[in-house]
Homo-oligomer: A and B are copies of this chain.
Amino acid sequence: MSAAASLRDTLRVPQGPVSIAGFDSGAKPFGGAAPDHDAHELAALQERLWAEATVGGSRRILVVLQGMDTAGKGGVVSHAIGLLGPIGVEYTAFKKPTQEELEHDFLWRIRRRVPGPGMIGVFDRSHYEDVLIVRVHDLVPEAEWEARYDAINAFEQELVDGGTTLLKVFLHVSYDVQRERLLRRLDQPDKHWKFDVADIDERGRWDDYQSAYDALLERCNTDAAPWYVVPADHKKYRNWAVAELLRETLVELDPRHPHPPLDVEALRARLAPPH
State the A residues within 8 Å of B (CB). 43, 51, 54-55, 74, 77-78, 81-82, 84-87, 89, 91, 93, 122, 124, 176, 179, 182-183, 186, 189-195, 197, 200, 203, 257-260, 262, 264, 267-268, 270-271, 273
Contact = CB atoms under 8 A, between A and B. Distances in A.
Q: Give the oligomeric copy count.
A: 2
Contacts of A258: 192-193
Nearest to A180: B271
Contacts of A186: 262, 264, 267-268, 271
A81 B183 CA distance: 33
Q: Chain A's interface: helix, strand, loop or mixed, by majority?
A: helix
A186 B191 CA distance: 51
| Residue from A86, A93, A258, A259 with most neighbouring chain B CB atoms (10 Å) | A86
B262 A195 contact: yes
Contacts of A262: 186, 192, 195, 197
Given A86-B82, A122-B86, A200 B267 contact: yes
Contacts of A193: 51, 54-55, 257-260
A93 B53 CA distance: 15
A81 to B, nearest CB: 5
B85 A182 contact: no
A19 to B, nearest CB: 20
A105 B186 CA distance: 49
